[in-house]
Amino acid sequence: MTTHSNTPAGWYADPQGTPNLLRYWDGSQWTEHTNPGQVPGQQGPKQEGGNAWELNVSRTPDPGKIQHQVQGQAGVMSPGYGGGTLFTEPVLVVNQKAKLIELVNEYSVFDQNGRTLGSVVEIGQSTAKKVLRFVSSVDQFLTHKLEVRDAQGQPQLVLTRPAKFIKSKVLVHRANGEPLGEIVQQNAFGKIKFGFMYNGQQIGAIKAENWRAWNFAIVDHTETEIARITKTWEGLAKTMFTTADNYVLQIHRQLADPLLSMVVASALTVDTALKQDSRGLG
């Protein structure tokens, strides 16, 4: 029995699905050592499609935690209120579905009060590709396609990241296939920068504020900040057990397409194009 070597050693829910039983993972394989109990916040292995060991964490939104992300962690206070959709709210909270082993990228998107605005789901993955992701660290060499859906589950945007070697590029389309531009990584070292490209012209950029690229300023073509991405943390214990990344996107003023859709897609672009690679899973 094998799983991904990047999972840290520790006690996890038994991969065989035995209720209230923990089994020790030594960093490379499951051992014979077991203990009764349950890892806090974990619900046990998900068995869909034979993908054991994903170990989902509850996705039920907690308005208090969402508000803490926005105000306490991202420092966004009283940003005003929008029209209740992905494209009209001034604050989007993008929380990745937490899993130990990441085979399919999934995110939930909330407003500043914890109300669900939409979701983002990876589409078009074959069984063979899932297996490849499970046994190796090859995500960056695979093409990824994410579908941005509204609160009713209707597709709004499609983000495609072609296979990369050093720099990432994300193609942004409407659900009907209309191209909205490209988000292109412009450097591989130092403070990472992505350009918003439309019809061969740069209309904005995402700029990392430090070399570790946790937080980003989003600017228009005049270098004026129009939005900001802040990575938020759910605590060391949860971070150790899962690969989830969470972000708060604050939009400072009303924007029009294609820049609006580029900005909405930006938090997902950062995670898919950059953070996935830094974890070794992509």
Q: What is the pLDDT of residues 157-166, one digit of tens each?
A: 999 988 766 7
Give backbone dihedrals phi and psi of 91, rounded to 5 degrees, phi first. -135, 130
Tokens of residue 96, six digits: 């990745």
Instruction: Give pLDDT, residue 142.
Output: 72
Name beta bridge partners: 91: 250
Q: Is the pLDDT of residue 130 over 50?
A: no
Token pair recorded at residue 26: 């030594």
Burial of 16 (0-12, 13-18, 19+ CB in 10 A): exposed
Please provide the CATH number assigned to the domain covering 59-278: 2.40.160.200
pLDDT in tens, 172-224: 999 999 999 999 999 888 888 999 999 999 999 999 987 665 789 999 999 99
Nearest to 148 by CA among 134, 139, 160, 137: 160
Residue 92 gets which letter from DSSP?
Answer: E
- Residue 233 scores a pLDDT above 90: no
Per-residue confidence band for 96, with pLDDT thresholds at 50, 70 and 90: confident
Question: Over the chain, what is the mean pLDDT?
Answer: 75
| Kind plus residue range of the DSSP H or E element containing 150 | strand 144-150
Task: Tell me the three-class secondary structure of 180-217, residue by residue.
Answer: EEEEEECCCCCCCEEEEEECCEEEEEEEECCCCCCEEE
> What is the rounded CA–CA span in Å between residue 50 and residue 60?
24
The pLDDT of residue 93 is above 80? yes
Higher pLDDT, 138 or 178: 178
Phi, psi of 17 (to 5 degrees): 85, 10
* Omega before residue 258 within 30° of 0, cis: yes
What is the pLDDT at residue 88?
A: 95
Comparing 27 with 132, which gets the higher pLDDT? 27
